[in-house]
Structure 1
Amino acid sequence: MSTPLGDFVRAKRDSIEPAAFGLPERGRRRSPGLRRSDLAARAGISVEYLTRIEQGRDRNPSPAVVNALADGLSLDAAEREHLRYLVKITGGTCAGQQQPAPPDREVRPTVRETLRLLEPAAAYVTNRLGDVLAHTAAFEQLMLPTGLFDSDAPNLTRFVFTDPRARTVFPDWDQVADEHAFDLWLGPSAAAAHWFTAQLAPVAGPDFTRRLNHHLLPPQVPLRLAHLTARELRLQRERLELPRTDGQQLVVLLPADDTTAETLGHLLHPAPVPLRAIS
């Protein structure tokens, strides 16, 4: 049985060209990327032990082994943090410590007040599952034509994977889908992620399940939004992590170029619509 840790190590190994590490090509192979023997040698562990980790038969590698794998794969800081997180939830799941449960949807009053002060910017509070928990009037004005708010409990991840309109709304749909699948591993808790994944997988299909165990960090690029009433928008997403006990993020959408700034100026004029919290 595979584990999040094993899936990540295997996916990362498969993504690395041997030449990037100064290793020779060794003819045709059934799978791409770095050989197990090459990674094992770089990490200073046995091939048999690496195989056990990748196949989920060893779920509790020591910190020294985890650091050696990170070095052997030349992980950057974000990837190392993700690796440590996967080690934690892989061990916790194995020990039966995590029970599927829905996440807390409460947004603190001070966070709602922060959103109010951000008007007329397009901003929202979400968790790593994609729930839109609260938002500014400008965000609703921006996203209402997309169909996101057709649901009483809007969820960006569910919208991306289950609503056919999402592929038109997001011209870089594959990139957006990769981001949302990756974010599921980051919370708001392992239990909540398991709960949400169980709900989503049956209706989202292979586009979702194939990405779920991919684990490679998506690049941070501007979000392209094909707005139904205006020209295409290019948006930077400024993410502000709220305290870990919240398991939430405050996301502000900012124009990535002058054309988008001008378009947003016309679309998101101040409107006397009160801040909404979704419960």
Structure 2
Amino acid sequence: MRDFLTSRRAKITPAQVGMPDFGHRRVPGLRRAEVAALAGVSVEYYAKLERGSLGGVSASVLDALARALRLDDAERAHLFHLAHAADGTSAGMRPRRRPSAKWTPRPALQWMLAGIQPPALIRNGRMDLLATNHLGHAMHTSVYDSQPGETPNFARYTFLDDDAQRFYPDWDTAADTCVTILRTEAGRDPHDKALHDLVGELSTRSEPFRKRWSAHDVSLHGAGTKRFHHTVVGNLDLAYESVDMIADAGLSMTIYVAEPGSPTAHALDLLASWAGTPADADAP
């Protein structure tokens, strides 16, 4: 909470909130007193919140902080998740752990995935790639190949595999998105040991990850466009839609689509043909 609030107020200048800018500022952005004034709380109380002492903090105070710091929807949700985690109320909201740590799709879900024509995948908040349909697997062949015998993880692939620079033509954007998803998940379920281990591994092995993780940025990843480069069919400019899976808390399904008649649509047709070719046949 301390790092998140500090990083958010560092992004706002007094001029942006209609306050006079006076005196030397040791750090960029708003002072604690200015945030407190904007939120309508005492400086002492805001300082207490920024230190992480959140016991009994009300939703109205959190809302006031969100307005004062001009948080977007993702940042506001993250603020509430952090507050709930700090006072323990999030413990009862977390889904009960399954006996097995390995999630497998139900047969009906596998049938549904198989019935989806464009590339589709299911992942969790740790960025584990849990399931795909046939075309989704073909599209992410390099991700699977990078971690043979394991559940592929997009974060490990993005930051620890040099091939990710080829697969994501706009690697910086892909890396930013990946970290904001992980940071959002860390706020939603701060007791996830597997997530702690993943962040520790990436922080140890990747300077680009450490830099992004320290920024405390979060985002909602629901819809947009992405660019990929597949070794067989070339560039893919795809729109995507992601939906949370109600029956499987913490999981989301993403479906990629191409504009009809576009070069990417033809590339997906080629990819579907290539993916249907026996493994020992020559690639087109």
TM-score by length of structure 1 reads 0.79
CA offsets 1:9-31 (integer angstroms, 9 cap, x no match): 22221122332222344466342
Structure 1's 206 and 90: CA in aligned 2 closer, same or farther, altered over 3 A?
farther
Q: Which has the higher contact order (CA 8 A, sep 6+)?
A: 1
1:139 aligns with 2:170: no
Instruction: Give the AA of the match of 2:213.
Output: L
Contact 1:201/1:208 (CA < 8 Å) preserved in 2?
A: no
Structure 2: stretches of 5+ with no match in the other structure: 278-284
1:45 aligns with 2:41: yes
Structure 1: stretches of 5+ with no match in the other structure: 274-279
Instruction: Please identify the structure whose Cα radius of gyration is greater.
Output: 2
Instruction: Give the AA of the match of 2:263.
Output: T
CA distance in structure 1 between the partners assigned to 2:110 and 2:13 by the alignment: 47
The aligned counterpart of 1:198 is: 197
Structure 1's 253 and 229: CA in aligned 2 closer, same or farther, altered over 3 A?
same
Contact 1:158/1:200 (CA < 8 Å) preserved in 2?
A: no
C-alpha deviation, 1:252, in angstroms? 0.8
Instruction: Give the AA of the match of 2:182.
Output: L
CA distance in structure 1 between the partners assigned to 2:20 and 2:101 by the alignment: 48
Structure 1's 145 and 187: CA in aligned 2 closer, same or farther, altered over 3 A?
closer
TM-score by length of structure 2 reads 0.78
CA offsets 1:129-161 (integer angstroms, 9 cap, x no match): 111111111112112145655422111122112
- 1:91-170 to structure 2, matched below 5 A, reads 91-92=87-88, 104-119=102-117, 121-145=118-142, 148=145, 150-152=147-149, 153-170=151-168
C-alpha deviation, 1:236, in angstroms? 2.0
Contact 1:236/1:254 (CA < 8 Å) preserved in 2?
A: yes
C-alpha deviation, 1:253, in angstroms? 1.4
CA distance in structure 2 between the partners assigned to 1:32 and 1:67 by the alignment: 23
C-alpha deviation, 1:238, in angstroms? 0.8
Instruction: Give the AA of the match of 1:216.
Output: D
Structure 1's 207 and 93: CA in aligned 2 closer, same or farther, altered over 3 A?
farther
Aligned length: 268
1:259 aligns with 2:263: yes
7, 10, 16: which is aligned to 1:11? 7
Structure 1's 147 and 133: CA in aligned 2 closer, same or farther, altered over 3 A?
closer
CA distance in structure 2 between the partners assigned to 1:226 and 1:28 by the alignment: 49
